[in-house]
Amino acid sequence: MSHKVLGIDVGASAVKGGIVDLDKGEMISERFKIKTGAPPAPIADVVEAFAKIVAHFDWKGDVGVGFPSLVKNNVVYTASNVDQAWIGKDIQKVFGKRVGLKVRAVNDADAAGMAERAFGGGKGQKGTVLLLTLGTGIGSALFRDGILIPNTEFGHLKFKGDIAERYCSSRVKETENLSMKKWAKRLNKYLEHLELLFSPDLFLIGGGISRKFDSFKDQLTIKTEIRPAEMKNIAGIVGAAMAVDA
């Protein structure tokens, strides 16, 4: 019997879920999304969106969550793009208690990275692989010979007088109305910095904007190989489901 888990990806402005076959790394249901409004959504709205997704699938099994914060042993430690009230909260006590199920969470970028590593573009890849998710914030997942070093938070590296995610996330592209070329030049500078610090063998770029990789790749002049993540918008959900075994 295959191992099925409900994966839920908590984003800054929406919560998305789907049923995942963990043996195949595939989503076997449709992707169900509930918008929670402009970030940071109040904690209660996120919990209700989570409960609606569980109810939508009439789910009675384990639930894995990708959460956009530093998450250690199921506890949330930071809140850059989510309600500050999340800090110190135990995911089981908040989400698990609401639906009466076992819920395990990991950082959202680590989740996407785990999915890409097991089933997507990072499969079988040796050496140092760094996946970045470009969205409201910048998430990072760092692997060495397939082993994840969790909660790296490279979007929070001090960069250009602020932190990197406030310089070149895809939200910054929108809020500062940057052309693709201008934004990609910023991204390239950040990638150069990461290249200097970590000497990766491969960069994988995830997040919604990675679908447009072909329209900005020419601005990326780094020496390291760089590819868009392969699993597109399901990496976060598949990886979230993997959290139940993490």
Rounded distance between C-alpha atoms, residue 240 and residue 109, angstroms: 10
At 54, which helix (H) or strand (E)? helix 43-56
Total of chain residues touching ligand BGC, rule CB under 6 A: 17
200-80-130 Cα angle (round to 5)? 10
Residue 222, token pair as written in the block: 């780094």
Nearest CA to 186 out of 213, 226, 215, 159 is that of 159
Residue 236 interacts with ligand BGC (CB under 6 A): yes or no: no
Of positions 17, 25, 40, 139, contacts ligand BGC by CB under 6 A: 139
Per-residue b or e along 22-41, where b marks 16 or more CB atoms closer than 10 Å to that residue's CB: beebebebeebebebeebbb
Of positions 165, 194, 206, 222, contacts ligand BGC by CB under 6 A: 165
Report the C-alpha dihedral over residues 9, 99, 4, 7, rounded to 10 degrees: 0
Closest separation in Å from C-beta 111 to ligand BGC: 9
Rounded distance between C-alpha atoms, residue 233 and residue 210, angstroms: 10
Question: Which region among 33-41, 93-101, 114-122, 133-141 touches ligand BGC (by CB under 6 A)?
Answer: 133-141
Closest separation in Å from C-beta 209 to ligand BGC: 13
Residue nearest to ligand BGC (CB): 137
Residue 40 interacts with ligand BGC (CB under 6 A): yes or no: no
Question: Which region among 35-43, 97-105, 129-137, 191-199 touches ligand BGC (by CB under 6 A)?
Answer: 129-137
Contact letters for ligand BGC, residues 51-90 (x by CB under 6 A): -----------------xxx-------x-xx---------
Residue 155 interacts with ligand BGC (CB under 6 A): yes or no: yes
DSSP string, 67-122: ESS-EETTEE---SSS-GGGTT-BHIIIIIHHHTS-EEEEEHHHHHHHHHHHHSTT
Of residues 8-37, those binding ligand BGC (CB under 6 A)? none
Of residues 195-234, those binding ligand BGC (CB under 6 A)? none
Binding region for ligand BGC (CB under 6 A): 68-70, 78, 80-81, 107-109, 133, 135, 137, 139, 153, 155-156, 165
